[in-house]
Structure 1
Amino acid sequence: MQNQQSNPARSAQTRPTAISSEIVQLAGAALIGAFVVYGVGFSHLMPVHNAAHDTRHSATFPCH
C-alpha cells in the first residue's frame, strides 16, 4: 500500500503558473470586452453598430 503525501515543493512550483495563467485570462477578457464596447460600438458598418447599440441598451449600458 502506498502512502500518498502531498509534496509542498511541487505545490509551490505550480502556484505561480496558475497565477500567471489567471492574469493572462483576465487580460484577454478585458481586451475582448474593450473591443466589443469600443471597437464594435464605434464601427462605421451600420448593422454591426446597431447590433452593439441594441446590446448595450439591453444591458443598461449608457451609450449616448
Structure 2
Amino acid sequence: MSHSTLAASSSVTLPLSQRLLLALASCLLGAALIFVAGFSPIEAMHNAAHDTRHSAAFPCH
C-alpha cells in the first residue's frame, strides 16, 4: 500500500467538544486578524486587509 493510498483511506473523527473548540478558535483567530489589521498604524497592513474588512462590514475610515 502506498503512502498516498494510506493517507486517503484513513480518517480521524474528533469528538464534538474538540470540533467546537477548533471552530471557536478559528473564528477568534480570524476576528483578531481583521481587528488587528483594522487598527494597525502600519499603512501596508491596512491596505492589505482593506477589502476583507469592508466585505465583513468593518468600518476603517
TM-score range, shorter chain: 0.5 to 0.7
Aligned Cα root-mean-square deviation (Å): 2.0
Aligned-pair identity (%): 36
Higher relative contact order (CA 8 A, sep 6+): 2
Task: Tell me which of 15, 19, 31 is aligned to 2:28.
Answer: 31
Letter in 1 for 2:47: N
Q: Greater CA radius of gyration, 1 or 2?
A: 1
Q: Are 1:47 and 2:48 an aligned pair?
A: no
Shift of 1:53: 1.3
Moved beyond 6 Å, runs of 4+: none
| CA distance 1:26–1:44, shift in 2 (3 Å) | same
Number of paired residues?
A: 47
TM-score by length of 1: 0.55
Q: What's the TM-score, normalizing by structure 2?
A: 0.57
Q: Against the structure 1 CA distance between its residues 21 and 34, is the aligned structure 2 distance closer, same or farther, given a 3 Å change threshold? A: same
Q: Deviation per CA, 1:5-56: give whole Å up to 9, x if none.
A: xxxxxxxxxxxx6111112111111111111221111111110011111333
